[in-house]
Amino acid sequence: MSLLLDGLAASSGIAIAPAYLLVGPDLSIKKQHIADKNHEVARLRDSFALTTKELQAIRQRAHQDLGHQAVAVVDAQLAMVNDPVLLTTIERLIDKHSYTAEWGVKLATDNYLALFERNNDDYLNSRILAVRDVYKRVISHLLGVKLPDPGALDHRAILVAPNITPTDMAQLDRRYVVGLVTDSGGRTSHFSIMSKTLALPVVVGTNTATKKIKTGDLLIVDGIHGKVIVNPTEQQLEHYRLLAGEFAREQQAWGALRDQHTASQDGRKYEVAANVGALSDIAIARDHGAEGIGLLRTEFLYMNQTELPSEEKQFNAYRQFVSGMDQQRVVARTLDIGGDKRLGMLKLPREENPYLGFRAIRIGLAEPTILRLQLRALLRASAYGRLAIMFPMIATPEEFTQAREMLDDEKRKLSRAGVAVADNIEVGMMLEVPSAAVMADVFAPDVDFFSIGSNDLIQYLFAADRGNSRVSYLYQELHPAVLRLVKRVIDAAHAEGKWVGMCGEMAGNPLATPLLTAMGLDEFSMNSSQILPIRSLISHLNNRQLQPLVHRALAAHSAREVEMLVKEYVPMLRKD
C-alpha cells in the first residue's frame, strides 16, 4: 500500500528511485572516568586532527560543486575544530575530572548549544547543525564508528535524512543521487537554497520521512508540489512518469530561450539575472541563461580569512565577474556581514538580535576604511564591463547619502590618480528594511535603482525569523502586505524613471511572477537553476490581461487567497 508524505518543494523536478536512508549510527555515550589522562588527551587530539582532515577534503568538494554558501558553513566547522580554546576547555575537563574524551566533548558541545538558546542569537542558531555535525564527526572517531557516507552510493537512489548538512551535500555523488527528502527544513533554509544548485528534486519538512521510509523502498519525489510517495501503485508510477516526461520537455524548451531576451506576450522586456557568490558561479549563470548578475555577494572574499582582503585581491576578483559577463550588468552588493555572517578578522559584538543589530552598511559606515577599500576595488573593476553597486540594509536617507559620498570621493581620487573608472556606474540600494520601503518615494530621486531583498524584507515585515521553524509559517511571499509594499516601491521608482529589481527567494517563485511582472518589476535575480523556468513563464504572460489580478491580490486578505487568484488567472500554474 502506498503512503503519501507532504512537505515543501525546495527544488523542482520528479525523481523515481529506491530510498537510501542517511541516518547515522548510535553515538550515545555515558559519563565515565579514566585513569590515564594523557592517553585520553592524545585520543582527543587525534579525533580533532582526523575531523580537520575530513572537513578539509569536504571543503574542497564544496568549493567545486556548491559555491560560497556551503564553503562558509564548512569553514565555520573548521574554525570550531581548530579553536584552541575549545580544545583546551575539553583537556581541562579531562584533567580536572578524569572524564573520557567523549564525555568532555559532549559537555563542551552542550555548553555551546546552551549558549545559542540562551542568547537567541540568529547567527549561532544558523550554525547549530554545523556544530552538531562537528560533534558527531569527533565522537565517531573517538568511538571508532563510521558515519554514513552519501558518497558511497553505487546505484541510483533518493537520499532520505533527518536533515542534510552542507558537508553531506559536498559528498554527494551526482551520478547516483537523483533526489533528496528531509524531515526538517524550510524553503528559505540554507540547505534549500543550496540544493537548487544541484538541480535535483528536493522535498523538505516532511517531519516523518525517516520514520516512515526504509532503505530500498521505492519513492516518487515530487519537487514541484512538495510530495513524496512511498511504494507507489502502478497507476501513480505511470502518472509521475508522464509528469517527468513533461518536465524534461519543458527543460528542453527552456533551453531554447537561453540566447533570447526575456519579454512578455504583450512585448514588455524584463531582465532575469543570477545571484552568485563565487567565481565558479559565472559559467553556471551563463549556462543557465542569465541575462546578468543581479546580486554579487562579495562576502566570499572575506570568509575564512585571517585578514581583510587587499584592494588588489578584491579588484582582480571583481574584474573577473565584470569581464566574464560580456557587458551584461553585474550588480555588486557591498560587504554584507553581521546577522548570519561573521568574519574572523573583524570582531563584532555579540548581540541579542544580530539581524536587527550592527550589520551590513551599518558596519561599513562605522568602519569606513573597510568600505572605502572595497569601493576602490569595485570602481577599478568597473572599467572592464558593466558594473552597478548597491548598498545593503539601508534604513534612512542619511545612510545612503553617506555611502554615496564615500563612493563619489573614492571615484574622484582614482580619477585624479589617472586610474580608469567607468562613467556609467549605477548606484543603488537593497531595499530590505520596511522603513525604507515606506519611504521609497523619498529615496527614489537619489538612487539609480532599488533591489528588493525579499527574504529580509518579509521577515522584518512580519517580525518573524524565517529560520525559526515555529514562526516560519509567517514567511508569506504572497501576502497582500508584502505585495502592497513591493508595488509601493515599484511605483515610487518608476515615477522617477528608475528601475527596480528583486534578489530574494520571492523573485524565483513562479506564483509570484505574474504579480511581479504585472506590477512592473524590471529585474528578477535568483539561483541560476531557476532562471530558464521563470523566463519561460514570463514569455507566456500578458501583463495587460493580468491587471485585474493585481487589483484583486492587493485587496485580498491572505496569502492563500492570493495563491488561488494567481492560479485562477494563470492556468499553467495549476499543476496537480
Tell me how long the chain is: 576
Beta bridge partners of 296: 276, 332
Task: Let me know if 33 is a catalytic residue.
Answer: no
Integer Cα distance of 232 and 216 in angstroms: 13
Integer Cα distance of 332 and 525 in angstroms: 12
Side-chain half-sphere exposure of 332, counting CA atoms within 13 A: 30
The residue to which cell 528531509 is assigned: 182
C-alpha cell at 134: 562537528
Host H or E run for residue 14: strand 14-21
Integer Cα distance of 541 and 482 in angstroms: 22
Phi (first) and psi of residue 227, to 5 degrees: -125, 150
Task: Let me know if 261 is a catalytic residue.
Answer: no
Q: Which amino acid type is present at position 219? A: L
Phi (first) and psi of residue 53, to 5 degrees: -60, -40
Q: Which amino acid type is present at position 405? A: E
Q: Look at phi and psi of residue 144 and say left if phi exceeds 0, alpha if psi is from -120 to 50, else beta.
A: left
Integer Cα distance of 61 and 47 in angstroms: 21
Q: Decide if 280 contacts 317 (C-beta within 8 A).
A: no
Q: What is the CA radius of gyration of the chain?
A: 25
Q: DSSP letter at 338?
A: B
Strand order across the beta sheet in which 227-230 lies: 3-6, 227-230, 218-222, 14-21, 157-161, 177-182, 202-204, 8-11
The residue annotated as part of the active site, out of 63, 68, 288, 503, is 503
Q: DSSP letter at 307?
A: S
The residue annotated as part of the active site, out of 63, 68, 141, 190, is 190
Residues labelled as active-site residues? 190, 503
